[in-house]
Amino acid sequence: MTNPQHTHGPSPQTAQWRLPSGARTLGWGCAAVGVVLLALAAWLGNAAGDGWRGFLRSYLVAWCFWASISLGGLFFTAVQHTTRAGWSVSVRRLAELCGAVMPVLAVLFLPLLVPVLMGGDGLYPWVAPEAVAASDLLQHKSPWLNTTWFGARAVVYLAVWVWLGRLFLVGSVRQDADGDVGRTIAFERFSPLALILLALTTTFASFDWIMSLEPTWYSTIFGVYFFSGAAVAILSAMILFAVGLRAAGVLRDAITVEHDHDLGKLLFAFTVFWGYIAFSQYLLIWYGNIPEETEYYLHRAHGIWGGWSLALIIGHLVLPMVGLLSRHVKRRPLLLAFWAVWLLVMHWADLAWLIWPSAGANAVWAVPVEAACMFGVGSLWLAGWLHWASHCALAPLADPRLPESLRFENSY
């Protein structure tokens, strides 16, 4: 749609497409709060009597939560380039920025990696030599599940993610200045490869960091399950950014209710996708009824985790599916933002459900540790986001498809 006569949309006031000057200060404040909260979490975790284990359990949930938003940002950006999407250009920078926070997450991964390399933190059973010696299965898996190879893989995953995050943001920001259409074409050619890289690294990272908490259990769909949660997380985060920034007076003429509507559609779709994948995993294990597979659901079917599972089915699938079904909801920013917050909470509950029962289901509930970890990692993540966001515009100023995005309308 390059018809020059057809540009009846508002001429964008791109000065409003930047964060106000206070954002940088806010970022440093977030960083300070994050460091304090994480120190508090570490102290609380140790004080609770479970040593580092009590802290790391919660820290892993928090890290996976915020990392899944950034991973989802990389996926979203790559998918938009691959499909040459026009509608999403004015919200794409928000996803690029989420992906660009990866360096912060890579540094924050050290508390999880170092204990493994030092030989045992109690979080991953396969790290302890005596546990491996006692189990034929763990010995059989040791060529893959050993500390050196685990560390090497973690470095590869994080390096790929940091690289992709920088690549997507830096290329897009440079285009703001030089308006080179060649960058868009290069992104379109590169993004399918990026998607393959992301699919492989996300799958194996979720095997390594979450599934290996119960090293004798396995599910080949596990990577897809983690991805479906990440997709829900990034779409929720983008909706919150889009609604929140407009409320703060930023991007008001860049993001319209039409973009909210489309983000809401995708959020609805991936909420159902999550349920579809979760059920696909459950059905095969339920029907096969083999002890080494059902063990996983056995831990999650009784006591507090039984109720938790039920709450996930209702809260992560049934309620948001019905709630997001109507277009009227998706076109009302506050209602949409409500479901975005709701689904982020559910995404956290999902990750806690994956990690907590595997890492000691019957441990005393450490709510303060969990909260301090979530908000601690979250503050540092937000500090990173604000840092990179305050150095660039919040929408791609010179993307060749920006006019199409600004004009974008949903049909009935």
Binding site for other proteins (CB under 8 A): 5-6, 8, 279, 282-283, 286-287, 289, 327, 407-409, 411-412
Half-sphere exposure of 296 (CA within 13 A, CB side): 23
Q: How far is the CB of 290 from other proteins (least distance, A)?
A: 11
Q: Which is closer to other proteins, CB of 5 or CB of 362?
A: 5
Query: Which burial class, exposed, middle or buried, applies to 90 when counting CB atoms under 10 A from its CB (0-12, 13-18, 19+)?
Result: buried
Q: Which is nearer to other proteins, 289 or 362 (CB)?
A: 289
Evaluate the CA torsion angle 202, 204, 205, 209 in order and state its sign. positive
Minimum distance between the CB of residue 286 and other proteins, rounded to whole angstroms? 5
DSSP 183-196: HHHHHHHHHHHHHH
| Residue pair 132/126 in contact by the 8 Å Cβ criterion | yes
Closer by beta carbon to other proteins, 78 or else 255: 255
Q: Which is nearer to other proteins, 178 or 409 (CB)?
A: 409
Nearer to other proteins, 130 or 287 (CB): 287
Tell me how far apart the alpha carbons of residues 210 and 261 are, in angstroms, rounded to a whole number.
Answer: 33
Cβ-based neighbour number of residue 306 at 10 Å: 12
Q: How far is the CB of 105 from other proteins (least distance, A)?
A: 36
- CB of residue 174 to other proteins, shortest distance in Å: 31
Residue 144 DSSP one-character state: T
Considering the complex, state which of residue 237 and residue 285 has its C-beta at the smaller distance from other proteins.
285
DSSP secondary structure letters along 147-194? HHHHHHHHHHHHHHHHHHHHHHHHHHHHHHHH--HHHHHHHHHHHHHH
- Residue placing its CB nearer to other proteins in the complex, 149 or 279: 279
Closer to other proteins by CB, 81 or 261: give it.
Answer: 261
How far CA 32 is from CA of 26, 39, 375, 382, in Å, comes to: 10, 11, 12, 11
The CB-of-197 to other proteins minimum distance in angstroms stands at 32
Q: What is the sign, positive or negative, of the torsion defined by CA atoms of 79, 18, 331, 237?
A: positive
Q: How is 341-374 classified by DSSP, letter by letter?
A: HHHHHHHHHHHHHHHTTTTTTTSPP-HHHHHHHH
CB of 304 vs other proteins, minimal distance in Å: 22
Place of tokens 């699938």: 317
State the nearest-atom distance from the C-beta of 287 to other proteins, in Å: 7
CB of 409 to other proteins, least distance (A): 4
